[in-house]
Structures are given as C-alpha cells and as structure tokens.
A and B are shown apart, each in its own frame.
Chain A
Amino acid sequence: MDSDKDSSRPRVAVVTGAAGKIGRAVVKRLGSAGWKVAGIDRKADNADLSIQADVADRAAVLDAVAAVAERWGIIELLVTAAADYRQARIGEMSLPSWQRMLDIWLGGTANACAAVLPGMVEAGHGCIVVLAADVRPGSQGQTYIAAASGTLAAFVKSLGSEVAADGVCVNCLAVRPSINPDWVAETICFLADEGRYCAGQVMLLGSDFQR
C-alpha cells in the first residue's frame, strides 16, 4: 500500500478547473500533503504548475498533461473539477450554450481521462476523481446542469469497471454547489491514499437536508 510514498519522488497530481472554488481547495490540500500539483484552467490558478487551457479542447489537454509528465514523471492522480453551473429554464438555453456545458462536463472529463490513462495503465497504478454536480431534487433552472453533469455518473461507472483491473481507480464525487470545498479535498486525499479498493463508484457527500 502507498508504494509511491516510499520513493523520494513527489507524487504528481493534475487538477482541472483548478482556479475554481473547489479546484483551489483541492490544489491547496494536495500541496500540503506533499504532492506536486499541476492545474489546468482557462484562468491562472495556485498550483505548482498552472497551465492555461480549455478542458473542452482535447489537443490542448493532451499537450498540457504531456508537459506535466515530462516535467515531473508519472501522474498518479487526476481530479476533474472543471464545471459549468449556468442556469436556465428548460427551453431557454441556446444550443451553443448547452453544447458548451456538455463539452465542459462530459467532454472535459473525458479529455482529461484520455490524457492521463495511458500512463496510469502502464504504471499499473492511478486514481481519478471526477467531480459532478448533485442538484437533486432539482429546482427551476438546474435541469441543464443536472443533465450535463449527470452523464458523468454513467461515464465513471463504465470507465471505472474498464480500468479497475489495470490498477486505476476511477470514482465520482457528486457534490452540491454549496459543499464545503475542504470536504471534497479531504475525500480526494483519502481516495488517493487508502481508498484504493473503491472503483466505479458515485459517492454522495454532505447532507441532502443542508443545502
């Protein structure tokens, strides 16, 4: 267990959406636990290495991850925290905006996973934590978020099963927009360190009754 900790080489993590509220907390928590953290975001972030890129751009994400691997070596952890919380009543969002939501939630997550997975599979070891929005039971204006982000539950269950045998654990944390970002960061540390028999799981954090 924790074989990576035994070497002197720091553990390497990539966080997408690193400049966001949750992303920043994750970057900070991982940094305090000794990880080298690269952030990918359209805005500058507080990671050791801040790469400004759009997660919806597959080529840009592949380039960013390649740059991280070249600099620090094997990437052990990926956290996808890029999000789009635009609200609109059903029928009132433009098609380009809806496409953009899908491109960020599902496309961005798939892009980042595609970028890190070959290295993780080769290493026989890796952890991916996908963040999704928990907007149950849903209120007016949240249907688009629920749909775009909801795709991630199915994505993680499938991908998690697919790569579990390769030693890569893929799990999803479904969080309410009001979640304490430190709780998310703490849970990610657990999954990366000792939650290595969890795979393909969608975990709900926080109470349904405290929004």
Chain B
Amino acid sequence: MDHAQRLKDKVALVTGAGQGIGRAIAVRLAQEGARVAVNGRTAHPKIQAAARETGGISVVADIADGVQVERMVAAVAKQLGTIDILVANAAYMTMMPFLEQDPADWWKHLNVNLTGHLACIHAVVPGMRRLGGGNIIIIGSIFGIEGWKNASAYSASKSGLTALGASLAEELRPENIHVSIVHPGVVDTPQLQVDAKDLNITVEEVKAMYARDIPMGRIGTPQEVAATVAFLAAEGGPIFSGRSLQINGGQNRCSG
C-alpha cells in the first residue's frame, strides 16, 4: 500500500515488534519513511524477520531491565540516529484467577507493562529534548480501562499507562514532546491462538466469539491499530497528547 511519507527520516523505536500489533506498527512507520528499530526481548528469528521487513534494525532488550533499555536506546541512536518516535508496545500477559496468581507473576506484569515503558521513556526523552520534540505513543488495552475477568494483573498494569501518559503529556508539552495512549480492543494477533488453546476451541471460533460482542461485528486488524499510531506519530501527536484513543469497533469502555 502506498503511504504518504509523513515520517520521512524520523527515527522510531517500537518495542515488542516481533509479531502482532507491534510488528504492524513497525512496518507502517517504515512505509511512511521512518527508520525503524524493532525491539524484542530475545534474539528470536521473528525479530530478525521484522527488521528485514522494515528495512531497519533489530535491538534485543528486556524492557523490564533498565540497564538493557539504556543500552538499547544508545545502540539505536548510534545506528539510526536520535529517537524521534517511541512506540511503547511490548507487553506481558497471563490470565489467571486473582487468588491463584503467584505474586511474582503479578510483579512481572507491572515490571514489564508499566515500569518497563517508564524505563523506555526515561531513556528516550533526553534525546527528544535535544531534538526539540518527539512523539511517544503508549499502547494500552481495553482491559486497562474497565478490567477483565482473570486478568487483574494485566488490567492493573495497563490502567497505569493512561495516567502515566496523561501526566507525562502535560509535563513534556512545553518541550514539544507529545504522549498519547492507544487502547486496542480485540485484535487479530497470535494471542488468539493462545486464547483458542485455553478455551479448547479453534481460532476461528475465538474470533467469532469476540466478534459477537463488538458492534462492528468483527475483530480489529493490527494494521488498523498501526494506522492510528502513524497518525499520532505524525499530525495527531499534539492533538491527542495526554489523551486516549480506543480502537475497538465500537466496544468502548468508559473510564468513569
């Protein structure tokens, strides 16, 4: 697909870009002219493939480890230039009844989904300040707005991102650094295979099950989320700084 070159020569880091939404975002930003670094927690072949697909580079780091994050951001700056756009997408998720969950697993959700993004933001903001601006797009979740059964840790971790983004947006606005939050609904990603296995049904049945609760009658595509991120990385950044956008086919949730 032919896209406008709205992000020509911008440097973007997309965390958790090996598959699903993160990968689609990395591909879309590259199509818009950005030089993209794709991050994965391990040097998985999918990360190498994503780097090839975007024509960019792969950077391995566990975002829950602040030292690895600093090293990653320095490596991106060295190879591609100072980061203009951070897409904080990486996430960890298990589903478990609250009382059965090991506290260590609870903390892993918080360490990756909330503190991990904080570490990435910490690492990129000094560079954005030097550039005189930047765009940070945080990927939240529909679960983070209203919660979800058996996903208390994941929901709590994602919920924190909304307040983190809104607060940072006001703090960084005078420096032309914009922070927005995207909450995808149910999206067609490899996670559905996990859901299908958990529920002991086929992936197609999982999609149909989710679609029944969506006014638009279908689940979303990673490309639809990616298009929204591209808008926020371009003209939408200042418009939606501090704000949340829900991409969910009408399955909106209210934060109260």
CA distance A89 to B231 in the complex (A): 40
Q: Note all chain A residues with C-beta closer than 8 A to B252.
A: 157, 199-201
CA distance A189 to B198 in the complex (A): 40
Most buried by B among A164, A197, A207, A210: A197
- Is chain A's interface secondary structure helix, strand, loop, or mixed overall? loop
CB distance B245 to A197 under 8 Å?
Answer: no
CB distance A205 to B239 under 8 Å?
Answer: yes
Q: Does A100 contact B (CB under 8 A)?
A: no
Q: Does B162 contact A (CB under 8 A)?
A: no
CB distance from B48 to the nearest CB of A (A): 28
Q: Does B160 contact A (CB under 8 A)?
A: no
Q: Note all chain B residues with C-beta closer than 8 A to A195.
A: 227-228, 231, 247
CB distance from A127 to the nearest CB of B (A): 13
Q: Does B169 contact A (CB under 8 A)?
A: yes
CB distance A198 to B246 under 8 Å?
Answer: yes
Q: Note all chain B residues with C-beta closer than 8 A to A161.
A: 215, 250
The 3 closest A-B pairs by CB, nearest first: A199-B250, A164-B215, A194-B227
Q: Note all chain B residues with C-beta closer than 8 A to A162.
A: 215
CB distance A207 to B249 under 8 Å?
Answer: no
Q: Mark out the residues of chain A between 190 and 206 whose CB falls within 8 Å of any chain B CB in the assembled complex.
A: 190, 194-201, 203-206
Q: With A183-B238, A190-B231, A208-B242 known to touch, is A197 a contact of B215 (CB < 8 Å)?
A: no
Q: With A190-B231, A205-B243, A207-B241 known to touch, is A199 a contact of B215 (CB < 8 Å)?
A: yes
Q: Note all chain B residues with C-beta closer than 8 A to A201.
A: 245-246, 250, 252
CB distance from A193 to the nearest CB of B (A): 8
Instruction: Give A196's nearest chain B residue, CB to CB.
Output: B224
Instruction: Give B170's nearest chain A residue, CB to CB.
Output: A209
What's the interface size class on A, roughly?
Answer: 20 to 34
Q: Does B99 contact A (CB under 8 A)?
A: no
Q: Does B106 contact A (CB under 8 A)?
A: no
Q: Does A90 contact B (CB under 8 A)?
A: no
CB distance B231 to A197 under 8 Å?
Answer: no
Q: Does B127 contact A (CB under 8 A)?
A: no
Of the candidates B216, B225, B231, B242, the one whose C-beta lies within 8 Å of that of A207 is B242
CB distance A160 to B170 under 8 Å?
Answer: no
Q: Note all chain A residues with C-beta closer than 8 A to B249.
A: 164, 197, 199
CB distance A199 to B216 under 8 Å?
Answer: yes
CB distance from A198 to the nearest CB of B (A): 6
CB distance B170 to A197 under 8 Å?
Answer: no
Q: Mark out the residues of chain B between 142 and 190 whose CB falls within 8 Å of any chain A CB in the assembled complex.
A: 169-170, 173, 185
CB distance B242 to A186 under 8 Å?
Answer: no
Instruction: Give A206's nearest chain B residue, CB to CB.
Output: B239
CB distance from B125 to the nearest CB of A (A): 18
Q: Note all chain B residues with C-beta closer than 8 A to A196.
A: 224
CB distance A197 to B169 under 8 Å?
Answer: no
CA distance A204 to B221 in the complex (A): 24
| Cβ proximity bits B99-138 to A, threshold 8 Å, 1 near / 0 not | 0000000000000000000000000000000000000000
CB distance B220 to A197 under 8 Å?
Answer: yes
CA distance A205 to B241 in the complex (A): 8
Q: With A194-B228, A209-B170 known to touch, is A186 a contact of B235 (CB < 8 Å)?
A: yes
CB distance from A87 to the nearest CB of B (A): 26
Q: Note all chain A residues with C-beta closer than 8 A to B236.
A: 186-187, 190
CB distance A165 to B217 under 8 Å?
Answer: yes
Q: Note all chain B residues with C-beta closer than 8 A to A165.
A: 215-217
